[in-house]
Amino acid sequence: MSRTIKFVLLMGLVLSLALSACGTPTPTAAPAVEAPTATEAPAATEAPAAEAPSTEPILTVTGAVDTELALSEADLRGMEVVQLKAEHPKKGPTDYEGVRLSEVLAKAGVQDGASALLFTASDGYESEVAYADVEACAECLVAFDGSDLVMVMPGLPSKAWAKMVVKIEVKAEAPAAAEPPANPNIILATTTSTQDSGLLDVLIPMFEEQTGYTVQTIAVGSGEAMKMGEEGNADVLLVHAPASEVEFMDGGFGKDRALVMHNDFIIVGPAEDPAKIKDFGPKDAFVAIYNAAVPFVSRGDDSGTHKKEVSFWKKAELDPSTEKPEWFIETGQGMGASLTVASEKGAYIITDRATYLANKDNLQLEILLEGNNALLNVYHVITVNPDKWPKANYDGAVAFSKFMTDPETQKVIGEFGLEKFGQPLFYPDADKTDADLGL
């Protein structure tokens, strides 16, 4: 074989071996690509909850109304809320939301004689509107303006459209001055308790201012007051001796009799209670005082209080006023003076609660017996009969009787003493009957 052929074959073998050594490269796996982590969609943002209306008062309604109001935004929104477009005198057509002024006033109860509304703003600005104009304005609103209130008063001048309103006052016309009475002087004969308690110091000026009458008050015991009526020396009585009052009326001395009020009698004495009456009823307490022969002060003046005292001695079948033991002290004076004597003597005494409380700071006496039904103390007003005493000022007496039973006066009576003593000194009874009180 020739060298050329051998060379060619050799080169082919070398090439074949080279290719075999290299081979086909193994494909390299592509690096794993980590799938992107799914991103959570952001949570939907909740719309903020609407703020609840404030419960703090933002508007007061006062004046000539049956019920004064202190209204919060929540109170106002609890009424019928309306939206309307109103023509503002300066701004032109404007949208408003609020409650009708008529509904607010109806809630308060406007009294007869209302003449105007006075709007007061938080900065002190005041605006007055005739009540007749308000009554004719069906679309007048108390409107919400952020945290403030504005008056929407269609058809009225701009001054009526008050802003930042915090108070609505209903004003009333002053009552026409009463004609002076033909006979302006009346004589009131009354028990000393109404005077000594300070009640008449409040009521008499009220009566005189309202009616034009001038009252001459004579404070004596109820018995003496009725004697003055029997003799025609008084025009009207304010007394607290029901049994004697019935006799007075049956005798024709009184024309009209009306229930006014009550409080109660109490038995007071030295704190050490030498007769040990604290747990007794009235009759047994009087027996204990008698047996212990400890000082006891009696008014001895035939007053309502004295009559009550005598009734307990009778129930106990005892009569110290006749026996006159040394320990039994009769003053013949009013309640205040008799309490002072009892305090000085360290004695027991029966008194109305009102006079005791009014004088308590000056007394060395404690309440030892109270709360018994037998201690009820009832007051009536009685007009002296003009048929028996033609010169009696019956018109003045009737005016006083009506005043004492009038609801406004009864309210004053029921509140008298509350501020100073923490309890009323009298309880109004004009809306009751004697039977309601067990008489």
AA identity, residue 38: A
Q: Collect the ranges in the chain with pLDDT lower than 50.
A: 1, 8, 14, 17-19, 21-41, 44
| Dist. CA 259–CA 426, nearest whole Å | 13
Give alpha helix (H) positions in 30-118: 73-77, 101-108
Spatial neighbors of 363 by CB under 8 A, at least 6 apart, are 268, 339, 340, 342, 343, 356
* Inter-helix orientation angle 282-292/304-315, to 10°: 80
* Inter-helix orientation angle 199-211/394-405, to 10°: 120
Nearest to 349 by CA among 283, 305, 405: 305
**Domain-wise residue ranges, the chain:** 57-172, 179-439
pLDDT of the residue at 12: 56
Angstrom distances, CA of residue 27 to CA of 17, 34, 47, 131, 177: 22, 21, 58, 101, 121
Q: Coil, helix or strand for 45?
A: coil
| Dist. CA 345–CA 325, nearest whole Å | 15
| Dist. CA 350–CA 239, nearest whole Å | 17
Radius of gyration of the chain (CA): 46
Burial class of residue 104 in the structure, from the number of CB atoms within 10 Å of its CB (0-12 exposed, 13-18 middle, 19+ buried)? buried
| Dist. CA 383–CA 235, nearest whole Å | 6
On average, the pLDDT of the chain sits at: 89
| Dist. CA 348–CA 269, nearest whole Å | 4
Angstrom distances, CA of residue 307 to CA of 15, 103, 342, 352: 155, 56, 18, 12
179-439: CATH superfamily: Periplasmic binding protein-like II (3.40.190.10)
Can you spell out the DSSP letters for 162-183? -SSEEEEEEEEPPPPPPPPPSS
pLDDT of the residue at 34: 47
* CATH class name, domain 57-172: alpha beta
Chain centroid to CA 349: 34
Model pLDDT for residues 291-309, shown as the tens digit of each residue? 999 999 999 998 889 999 9
Say which DSSP state 124 is in: S
pTM for this entry? 0.59
pLDDT of the residue at 182: 92
| Dist. CA 87–CA 180, nearest whole Å | 51
Model pLDDT for residues 28-56, shown as the tens digit of each residue? 444 444 444 444 445 545 555 557 788 89
Nearest to 357 by CA among 215, 197, 153: 197
Question: What is the greatest pairwise CA distance in the chain?
Answer: 187
Nearest to 105 by CA among 134, 148, 83, 132: 134
